[in-house]
Structures are given as structure tokens and as C-alpha cells.
Chains A and B, each alone.
Chain A
Amino acid sequence: MKYLGIDPQKVRVGVFDFTGCEGCELQLANKEDSLLDFLSLLEVVNFREVSSDRGDDYDVALIEGNISRADEIDRLKDIRAKAKVLVAIGSCACFGGVNQQKNRFELDDVVKEVYGDHKVETDKVKRIADVVKVDLEIPGCPVSKEEVERIVVNVVLGAEIKIPKYPVCVECKQKVNTCVVDLGQICLGPVTRAGCDAVCPSGKVGCLGCRGPAEDANFESLKQILMDKGHSDSAIVERLRFYGAFNGTVG
């Protein structure tokens, strides 16, 4: 059985980090119960954070973080040329994540604010898909470790890959949580794609949309509901822009 030209018996996976917090990568090493099974299915050839073995031939490249400096573009293109399947993992890679909030400011201004008069090279934050072709995107800040394992294993086995399209509200209601909107908070659950088990509202905190838009998300109606509850337009937009996941749909 072959899938995307890869023989599942010897799938080699490389994990690469660009600009980000490495929290997504860490999830891969975090799942104690299934980590060893996961590792037995594939061969991790390049995972700088946990291994000094640097193999250069891989079939699947998992990419964390976004692109914010010229040298990263070359490194990413090089990985794309070598990998059969390139997967963007995490909100930074998929949407720019929290880092894209930098794009609201002038580059000179952010450098000056942090480094004073020292010159530091930095560019506007780009998503992985802005630079190379991306085969699969797994959103989340951080990604859910179950989801990455499931999807990578499915890539390996050639099974169909499913990421929920319905909103976080569905999962939240399944968990019989009290709706945080009724507690006076802003929650983006109605417009955000599920798959995180509604972890934020389950902790009594509004969803910030780290997984990006759900199918048929109705932003205007969500805005209206929240504004009727007394939230300001700017407070809602601030949250919609938090991970860059709705850029293009909101101002």
C-alpha cells in the first residue's frame, strides 16, 4: 500500500521549528501513553529539540512556527524540496499565530521598542503557506497531541484525514458546560472549528479561535449577539485577530 508515494513501512518524519514557542513540537513528546507506539510506527529522523541525530531524508515534514526572517525562507524551501508531504502544525504555522500581531506595527517601531538602537533583522510574519505549498494544516495553539498523532498515523497508513468542520460550541454543549457568554465573556466558539474538546470554555474561559474558522461561520451574527450583551466592537475584533485565524474575514 502506498499513499502520496510513501511506503508506510518506513515512513521517515522530520520535525522542524521556525518562529514560534516550540509548544506544538513539545506536544509530540508529551503523550506518554501512546508516544512509544507512535514512535514505533515511524522513524523520526530530524527532531532537533529531542535528538542530535540529524537525518536529511524524510518523507513527512512537520513544520512548526511562522516565517519572519529571510534565512527561514531558504530553510523552508529546502525542506519542501526534500519532503513528500509537508504538514503545517499549529496556529503560528497555519495562520501566523500570536506572532502575526506584530504585523499591525511598523517593523522599525517594534525593533526600536525592544532593542533600542541596535539593528535586528526581522520581516513581516508570514504563514507557511505564504512561502511554500502546504499539503495539510493542523491548527491549534498548541496543536492537540491526539490530533497530530491521529493525522500523522493516517498519513502513514493512507487513511482518510478528517478535521472537524463544525464549531467548538458543538463540543462545548456535549460537555454540558455553562456557556461563558452567559457569564458575560466573549467566546468565539460559535465561529471556530472544533477538535480541541472545547478546552477553553470547559475551563470557564472564552474561546479565542486558535483553530480557525468553522465551516459556514457567521461572524456578523456572533458580533451582533456579543454587542447586544454589551461588548464593544473593538474588544470582539481584538479577539478575532488574536491568532490571525480570521484575518481576511475581519478588519
Chain B
Amino acid sequence: MIQKTNMKINVHHLTRVEGHGNINVTVRDGKLVDARWEVVETPRFFEAILRGKPHDLAPTLTSRICGICSIGHTLASLRAVERAMDVEVPKNAQLLRLLAKHGETIQSHVLHVFFLAAPDLLNVDSVIPLIQSHPAVVGVAVRLKGLGNDLCDLAAGRTTHPVSLVVGGLSKAPKKKELQAMRQRLQERLADVATAVEVFKGLALPDFVRETEFVALKGESSYPWIGGDLVSTDGVVKSEDDYLAMTNEYKEDFTTSKFTKLSRESFAAGALARFNNNYEFLCKEAKETAEMLGLAPVNHNPYMNNVAQLIEIQHVMVESVEIIDELLAADLDDVCAEYEVKAGQGVGAVEVPRGILYHDYTIDDQGSITKANCIIPTTQNNANIHHDLPELVTQQIELGKSDEEVTKLCEMLVRAYDPCISCSVH
């Protein structure tokens, strides 16, 4: 078959993603000339600003790296500070932090799956027309998003830019009465997840596979969220402190975000990467959902990240109920440890909605930060997106797809990673 397709795709400031990025594809005489994912976001230089900052302001400052995963940034920042200064965080504070984290996972995944990705699958521009055409789905989305936000508010004082997560633990614990009410809501809302799963069963995600490596925290006895070893589907295992060897950042001139790699030219992080590495630790209900939606590890279809996110929403809701049960049986009067300021260096790795986030600080004996490094999940995914694009476009031109169809698939591909671009160019 002789094909003479010419194609020029130029999506300037892709919509329904967080931040500013462009997709550029050129096909000449049926041959792919170039396919690029360019991040054009303006950098803010957080690592430079952190120099000289008192350590207790670092979490408040770095929370502002990202409006969506601000709790994740705060927790990674706290973990870096606390590991640098050997602060022991009380068990109940750790549970409350995990609860805040789960709230963020719910709100962020719901925002992505329903508000940003679903319009593509239902062929509309945004969630707004769905209010009329698919009221049941929008209802589920709005209720689950509200649940996630309220869980964050309850555990951390505020969803966007948390208030009560402080060095040593929490400045204030929620009341047991509020936890009890939240427990009940979590259980009730599981019915909404079931509705969402039914809807998703009827939707066809694009069929595209490119084998890649998936990197995540390594679960020991549970699905991992905060700290621990790092693992990849190519068999690499490293300690948290060895994160630089797991990410290998480098810079390309056409993008303001850095790229990363491990065993191959690129790797992926995020819900699908966690699922692929830690499937065994999912709760029974989430495993059943995975089976219903045809997702089994190791899956190499990037569009399946949407499905993995839905599965994680369910998993963290179930786990949140268990955490609340533990908290209800505990004494929540003292959830903050005293600590002594000292010099040191510490790394905090946290699984945020879009993948592993690393903060690494060096602190002097006055408690001021002298050196900081933050590696963002989307930074890790940018190279994988960049390498998916040529493969996707090549497959699609072979299938004889139109410019319009290919453009949409490219946009959906980038969206599937749920990129948080301003975050990646911090």
C-alpha cells in the first residue's frame, strides 16, 4: 500500500490538562518526520527559592508547586525535612496524613477521569454539556469530587494548600465525630464508584500498546503511598535515598521540563505504574473492578491509566474506612512530635496522583535549607509521552486515519497521563 499522507498537527496549549504544553507532529509523504511533546510552561524556580528558607516554611512553600497535588507536595516536603532531622512522626499523625493523601487521590483522579478525560470518550468539549446529556455520570463525579475535597479538608484543614500538616505531625487533629461521619459517607459513596465502573465498561479506550518501563514505590504489606523502596517493572529495585539513580534527569532544548530515564529511553509513573508494580496489594473490591474493566498487570496501554485511576479511587476509599476505624480506636490528643533542629540531608518520596514525587533537602544546623531538589511525576512521564507520540502516529497513519482522528488520539494520549505541567516546571 502506497501512502502519501501529509500531516501537520500543531496543538498549541493543549486543553483539559493542568498547565501549558504543545503537541507537534509532522508527517510527510506518509512518513513521520517529527512528533514532539513540548512543555512551554514558565518555570518558577522553587529549588532556587528554597535556599535559605527556614525548614518549617518549606512544606508551605512547596505546596504551591501544584494546585492539584498540594497535599502530596506538602507530604514529600515534610518527609524530606523529617528524615533530614530524624523526626519521629507519631503513628496517628501518619494515619491522618495518609487519610489526607487519600482525599487528594480521590479528588485528583475524579477531576481527571470524569472532568478532563471523559469528555473525549463521550465526544464533547468539556464536562458542561454532559450535565444535560449524562446527568447520572456528572452526579457521580460531583459527589465523589466533593467527598475527596471534604476528606482533605477534614484531615488537613484545606484541600488546595493544606493547613495543618506540619513538621512533626499535625497541628490539629479532626474530631472523632467528624471522622465517624466521614466513614459513613465513604461507605455510601462506594455505590457511586460501582455506577462509574458500569459506565466505563461500556466505553472503548483506544487500543494502543508501546512497551515501556513502569516505576513506582514498592509495597511491602500494603499498596504504597508514602516512603519506602523504589521498584520498576524491568526489575530495578533501589532505596528511596537512591532516587537520582532511579530518575536520571536530563534536559532537552525544545521543552522547559526536564526528561528522565531508567533502563530504557523513557519510563512511566502514575496510577498505571503503581497498579503494574503493586497489583497484589489492592483490596479485593478493587481487584474485582480491574477484572471487570479488563486491566491486568503488566499492562502497556497508556490510555489504561484512566482505568487504573478509577480502580485506585475505589481502593483508597475502602482503605480510608479502615484508617478511620483505627483512628477512632486511638487517642488523637497528641499528634505532633517535638523535635530538635539539626543539620542533615533527607529525601522524601511520595506517590502522588500522577506518580512518584521526590523532595530532597540539605539543612544546616540553624534549620535553614541550603540545597533542594524536587523531581515531579510529570517530569518523569514527559519523556514517555514524547516517545509514545511517534509510535502512535505511525500506527495511525498505517491504519489510514485522518488528521482529525490522529489529533484527537494524540490529545487523548497526553491527557491519559494526567500531566500536571506547571508542576513539572516548578
Alpha-carbon distance between A23 and B44 when the two chains are bound, in angstroms: 15
Contact of B145 among A27, A32, A208 (CB under 8 A): A32
Taking A110-B48, A115-B251, A202-B157 as known contacts, 4 extra A-B pairs with beta carbons closer than 8 A to each other, sorted by chain A number, are A21-B67, A114-B47, A238-B57, A242-B61
Chain A neighbourhood of B163, CB < 8 A: 199-200, 202-203, 205
Pair B128/A68 contact, Cβ less than 8 Å: no
Alpha-carbon distance between A156 and B256 when the two chains are bound, in angstroms: 38
For A125-162 the 0/1 string (1 means CB < 8 A from B) is 00000000000000001100000000000000000000
Pair B126/A142 contact, Cβ less than 8 Å: no
B19 on interface, CB distance cutoff 8 Å: yes
Pair A50/B115 contact, Cβ less than 8 Å: yes
Chain B neighbourhood of A19, CB < 8 A: 42, 44
A102 on interface, CB distance cutoff 8 Å: yes
Q: Which residues, 77 to 106 on A, are CB-close (under 8 Å) to B? A: 97-99, 101-102, 104-105
For A14-58 the 0/1 string (1 means CB < 8 A from B) is 000111111111110110110110010000100111111110000
**Which of A1-9, A116-124, A222-230 is the interface stretch?**
A116-124
Chain B neighbourhood of A23, CB < 8 A: 64, 66-68, 70, 160-161
A175 on interface, CB distance cutoff 8 Å: no
Pair A142/B164 contact, Cβ less than 8 Å: no
Pair B116/A50 contact, Cβ less than 8 Å: yes
User: Given A21-B64, A24-B67, are A203 and B15 also a contact pair (CB < 8 Å)?
Assistant: no
Contact of B251 among A22, A110, A113, A118 (CB under 8 A): A118
Q: Which residues, 354 to 374 on B, are CB-close (under 8 Å) to A? A: none
Pair A203/B164 contact, Cβ less than 8 Å: yes
Alpha-carbon distance between A27 and B70 when the two chains are bound, in angstroms: 13
Interface size class of A (residues with CB under 8 A): 35 or more
Pair B125/A68 contact, Cβ less than 8 Å: no
B31 on interface, CB distance cutoff 8 Å: no
Pair B42/A205 contact, Cβ less than 8 Å: no
Q: List 8 A-B contacts (CB under 8 A).
A: A22-B67, A23-B161, A30-B159, A33-B146, A36-B142, A53-B126, A111-B45, A242-B57
Pair B15/A105 contact, Cβ less than 8 Å: no
B253 on interface, CB distance cutoff 8 Å: yes
Pair B60/A142 contact, Cβ less than 8 Å: no
Q: Which residues, 66 to 88 on B, are CB-close (under 8 Å) to A? A: 66-68, 70
How far in angstroms is the closest Cβ of chain A from B123?
A: 11
For B121-165 the 0/1 string (1 means CB < 8 A from A) is 000011110010000000000110110010000000111110110
Pair A204/B171 contact, Cβ less than 8 Å: yes
Chain B, residue nearest A22 (CB) = B67
A250 on interface, CB distance cutoff 8 Å: no
What 3 A-B pairs have minimum CB-CB distances, sorted nearest first?
A23-B67, A51-B126, A203-B157
Chain A neighbourhood of B54, CB < 8 A: 235, 238
Chain A neighbourhood of B17, CB < 8 A: 49
Chain B neighbourhood of A25, CB < 8 A: 67
Pair A22/B18 contact, Cβ less than 8 Å: yes
Pair A113/B51 contact, Cβ less than 8 Å: yes
Pair B172/A203 contact, Cβ less than 8 Å: yes
Chain B neighbourhood of A50, CB < 8 A: 16, 115-116, 126-127
Alpha-carbon distance between A72 and B42 when the two chains are bound, in angstroms: 9
Alpha-carbon distance between A101 and B61 when the two chains are bound, in angstroms: 10
How far in angstroms is the closest Cβ of chain B from A186?
A: 10
Chain B neighbourhood of A220, CB < 8 A: none
Alpha-carbon distance between A111 and B43 when the two chains are bound, in angstroms: 9
Alpha-carbon distance between A51 and B415 when the two chains are bound, in angstroms: 12
Chain B neighbourhood of A27, CB < 8 A: 160
Chain A neighbourhood of B256, CB < 8 A: 120
Alpha-carbon distance between A142 and B67 when the two chains are bound, in angstroms: 8
How far in angstroms is the closest Cβ of chain B from A75?
A: 10
B422 on interface, CB distance cutoff 8 Å: yes
Max count, chain B CB within 10 A of own CB: residue among A26, A29, A111 = A26
Pair A142/B160 contact, Cβ less than 8 Å: yes
Chain A, residue nearest B126 (CB) = A51
A109 on interface, CB distance cutoff 8 Å: yes
Chain A neighbourhood of B65, CB < 8 A: 21
Contact of B44 among A48, A68, A109 (CB under 8 A): A68
Alpha-carbon distance between A207 and B299 when the two chains are bound, in angstroms: 46
Chain B neighbourhood of A97, CB < 8 A: 64
Chain A neighbourhood of B251, CB < 8 A: 115-116, 118
For B98-131 the 0/1 string (1 means CB < 8 A from A) is 0000000000000100011001000001111001
Chain A, residue nearest B67 (CB) = A23
How far in angstroms is the closest Cβ of chain A from B301?
A: 23
Pair A203/B171 contact, Cβ less than 8 Å: yes
A69 on interface, CB distance cutoff 8 Å: yes
Chain B, residue nearest A97 (CB) = B64
Alpha-carbon distance between A35 and B138 when the two chains are bound, in angstroms: 12
